[in-house]
Chain A
Amino acid sequence: MTRPLTRRELLERAALGGAVLTLPGFLAACGGSGGGIEGTATTAGATTASGAKTLADKLTISNWTLYIDIDEKTKRYPTLEQFTTETGVQVDYIEDVNDNDEWFGKNQASLAKGRPVGRDIAILTDWMAARMVRLGYVDKLDRSAIPNASNLVDALASPGWDPNREYSLPWQSGLTGIGYDPERVGGELTSISQLLEDPKLKGKVTFLTEMPDTVGLMILDGGGDPSKVVKADFDKAIERLQKGVDSGQIRQFTGNDYSGPLAKGDIWAAVAWSGDMVQLTADNPNLKFAIPEAGGMIWTDNMLIPKGGDVFTASTFMNFAYDPKVAAQIEAYVNYICPVKGAKEAIKAIDPELASNALIFPDEATLAKAKIFDAAAADDKTYKEKFQAVVGA
């Protein structure tokens, strides 16, 4: 049996190839579509004369890179092929989400005019999903076609921006904490303050350009609550970050391109995402991932149906993805946090070690320490401007 390459192995090879592929986001800009980009959306929720819902011939999905299992040899997606076998629907899977803002920027003009963007499902992070719902750019899910939605973990069942999950279902979640090299740092890192204040770390620290992650951790560090952002907490966080930038303590703000430099030792500590760190720590056992004592951030990327997408077909796919067996299959490759109940049991059949990995299936104690960033604050123009000014843009 040929075993498909896991995401970790793929990144490992990329790192060998000059560390240039550690920026999967950027690379996807070079293409990476399974087929034609011009997907034509069929009428939403098509029904036959008899009233029975019918599946479209094709389902087009926009997703982030390395976010579903892939057979590296054949460049095929086993999970998607299984969906095609079961339903007869061809899947056009396009890895064109590099960055929430960028995806939105590309599609905003069409969405605002009510023109379909040729996607039946798009996968976007909480605050951007909230924006899509708020602006009316998405269609309601057909929950009657998604009985498996009952497998959604309780913690994610009711976000403020979509309390009944009428418009969205989580694809993956992840934790934001500190990734570091204890040997170089010379000890354990347990707080964001250390990153900002330890003189040994001057110029060896990076934070994330994603505002909810960076500012969320800063607010927690200052004793505030990032799930309900107040101006005083936010301004204090910005002020401390600016100080770190001005003094040269903070080297850069990054996307997931911190991983290469962290592995090579250009940076010693980074505000980092759990999924990346699962990969990195597997290849570099000297690295560590820690949730700060003051708490970490948890975020979710959500499946949405952009207006004009085929609601019934998209919902049918969501139902498929929420089958614990299918979820486990995706999870074994992706290594983020699975939002589907039962996947932990199902994954034991694939790789028992994964089921006990606290970053993929975090325990109650870890989850209790993780906060979701205030979705309204994440998309607040004044806050964003202040943060962009610190990031240098």
Chain B
Amino acid sequence: MDWLHRHRTVVPYLLLAPGLAWLAVFFLVPTYYLANTSLQSGSLDVGYAFTWAWDNYSNAISTYHEQFVRSLEYAGIATVAALLVSYPLAYFIAFRGGRWKGLLLLLIIAPFFVTYLIRTLAWQTILADEGFVVDVLQTIGVLGDGDRLLATSTAVVAGITYNFLPFMALPLYVSLEQIDARLIEAAEDLYASKVHAFLRVTLPLSLPGVFAGTLLTFIPAAGDFINAELLGTPRQSMIGNVIQSKFLVLTDYGQAAALSFTLMAAILVLIAIYTRVLGTERMGV
């Protein structure tokens, strides 16, 4: 006790230690290794060595900017789509779910009991050329006779949206659930219409959920490769596919790491801008 008293300034650091250790082991060390690898050159036969190989980065960006842009684009569209689907869903569960809330939430998570791959493969069946969905869309004229859904950008974006939907829906639910219903009542008492009350009270109060949900969806979606591989064609390949191929097939560890690092940086920049625009402090994130 005495020791702690005399070294009072140390205490906060001691309390922080577990968190800092976690950060060091699971973030700093891997990041260091990734950065180190990204500047290595070599091959399986001669071995890999650290050579300040900056051309890993310039090659990565000049050769694969198309896949970079496509990844961010698909992830962006999927995030917006997931938000549009999840918001009404979360709203309904939070305000109208009643005693079914638990069950409804469970239903959102239920698909997650199945492996990611199997879930994505199921979409191959759902969107099959001679399947129900394509049939219906052809009948109502949305799709032309020879058109298909599988192996198109639509299928890839749909797959990503579906696979990351719970990451959007759950934070939204949490933030909507916490809203004090009396605030909405008060707005209505003050002659706000339902729409107005939603726009002025509910929506702003749910923004922290929107913020968390979009980040949780966008970040993993941008690095995804399973959906592009199983539901797309080579023309839909995303940066994750390139990294996987560089790492496993071509054993070009340097460039694989450089691509990963570039992706991380790109996401970080986008998020920084996003945070600025939305302003996290106001939302208490």
Interface, chain A (partner B; CB < 8 A): 18-20, 23, 26-27, 29-30, 99, 101-102, 104-105, 108, 112, 131, 134-135, 203, 245-246, 248, 250-253, 257, 260-261, 264-266, 381, 384-385, 388, 390-393
Known interface pairs A20-B121, A23-B121, A392-B237; A30-B250 also in contact (CB < 8 Å):
no
**CB-based contact A105/B247 at 8 Å:** yes
When C-beta atoms are compared, the residue in chain A nearest to B129 turns out to be A266
Q: CB of B130 within 8 A of chain A? A: yes
- Among candidates B43, B45, B117, B242, residue contacting A393 with C-beta atoms closer than 8 Å: B242
Any A CB within 8 A of the CB of B235: yes
Q: How far is the CB of A209 from chain B (nearest CB, A)?
A: 9
A178 to chain B, nearest CB (A): 19
Question: Is B236 located at the chain interface by the 8 A CB criterion?
Answer: yes
Report the minimum CB–CB distance from A198 to chain B (whole Å): 15
The smallest C-beta distance from A161 to any residue of chain B, in angstroms, reads 14
> Provided the pairs A203-B148, A252-B151, A393-B241 are in contact, do residues A265 and B129 lie with their beta carbons within 8 angstroms?
yes
Contact A390 B234 (CB under 8 A): yes
Contact A266/B128 with A105-B248, A245-B233, A245-B234 known, Cβ cut-off 8 Å:
yes
**Residues on B with beta carbons closer than 8 Å to the beta carbon of A29:** 117
A105: which B residues are within 8 A, CB to CB? 247-248, 251
Residue pair A392, B250 in contact (C-beta under 8 Å): no
By the criterion CB–CB under 8 Å, are B241 and A20 in contact?
A: no
Q: Contact at A392–B233, with CB atoms within 8 Å?
A: yes
B130 (CB) vs chain A CBs: closest residue:
A265
Neighbouring B residues of A245 by C-beta, 8 Å: 233-235
> Separation in Å of the A242 CB from the closest CB of chain B?
9
Q: Are A101 and B249 in contact (CB under 8 A)?
A: yes
Chain B 55-67 interface 0/1 with A at a Cβ cutoff of 8 Å (1 = within): 0000000000000
Top 7 nearest A-B pairs by Cβ distance?
A: A392-B234, A392-B237, A393-B245, A393-B241, A101-B248, A105-B248, A266-B129
State whether the Cβ of B83 lies closer than 8 Å to any Cβ in chain A: no
Complexed CA–CA distance, A227 and B118 (Å): 37
Q: Contact at B248–A102, with CB atoms within 8 Å? A: yes
A297 to B150, CA, bound (A): 29
Bound Cα distance A105, B247 (Å): 8
Contact B233 A252 (CB under 8 A): yes
* Chain B residues whose C-beta falls within 8 Å of the C-beta of A385 in the assembled complex: 250
Choose among A134, A246, A260, A393 the residue that contacts B124 (Cβ–Cβ < 8 A): A260
- Closest B residue to A260 using CB positions: B124
B64, closest chain A residue (CB)? A393
Secondary structure of the A contact surface, majority rule: helix
A392 near B121: Cβ-Cβ < 8 Å? no
CB neighbours of A203 from chain B (8 A): 148, 151
Partner of A391, one of B125, B129, B150, B234: B234
Which of B45, B124, B250 is within 8 Å of A388, CB to CB? B250
Given A20-B118, A246-B235, A252-B234, output 14 extra A-B contacts at Cβ < 8 Å: A19-B124, A23-B121, A30-B115, A101-B251, A104-B248, A104-B251, A248-B235, A252-B151, A266-B150, A391-B237, A392-B233, A392-B234, A393-B242, A393-B246
Shortest CB distance A18–B (Å): 6
- B121 with A393: CB separation less than 8 A: no
- CB-CB under 8 A from B49, the residues of chain A are none
Instruction: Tell me if A251 and B248 are in contact (CB < 8 A).
Output: no
22 contacts between A and B (CB under 8 A): A18-B122, A19-B124, A20-B118, A99-B248, A101-B251, A112-B47, A134-B45, A245-B233, A245-B235, A246-B235, A250-B234, A257-B230, A261-B124, A264-B130, A266-B128, A266-B129, A266-B130, A381-B43, A384-B250, A390-B234, A392-B235, A392-B236
Asked if B25 is at the interface of the complex by the 8 Å CB criterion, the answer is no
Establish whether residues A381 and B250, one from each chain, have CB atoms under 8 Å apart when the complex forms. Answer: yes
**Interface flag for B275 (CB, 8 Å):** no
Given the complex of chains A and B, what is the CA–CA distance between A104 and B124 in angstroms? 29
B117 engages A26 (CB within 8 Å): yes
B250: nearest chain-A partner, CB-CB? A384
Q: How far is the CA of A99 from the CA of B245 in the complex (A)?
A: 12
Query: In the complex, A194 Cα to B256 Cα: how many Å?
Result: 36
CB of B204, distance to nearest CB on chain A (Å): 43
A28 to chain B, nearest CB (A): 11
Q: Smallest Cβ distance from B149 to chain A, in angstroms?
A: 10
Query: What distance in Å separates the Cβ of A250 from its nearest Cβ neighbour in chain B?
Result: 8
CB distance from B112 to the nearest CB of A (A): 15
Residue of A nearest to B118 (CB): A20
Give chain B residues whose Cβ lies under 8 Å from the Cβ of A260. Answer: 124
Would you list which residues of chain B between 34 and 89 have a CB under 8 Å from chain A?
43-45, 47
A199 to B121, CA, bound (A): 28
Most B Cβ at <10 Å: residue of A19, A246, A253, A266: A266
Taking the complex as formed, is B244 at the interface, i.e. its CB lies under 8 A from any CB of chain A?
Answer: yes
A262: shortest Cβ distance to chain B, in Å?
A: 12
Chain A residue contacts of B117, Cβ below 8 A? 23, 26-27, 29
A231 to B241, CA, bound (A): 26
Greatest chain A CB density within 10 A among B117, B118, B121, B252 is at B121
Q: Are B151 and A19 in contact (CB under 8 A)?
A: no
Closest to B234 in A: A392
Query: Using Cβ atoms and an 8 Å threshold, which residues of chain B touch A391?
Result: 234, 237, 245
Give the chain B neighbours of A251 by CB distance below 8 A.
Answer: 151, 233
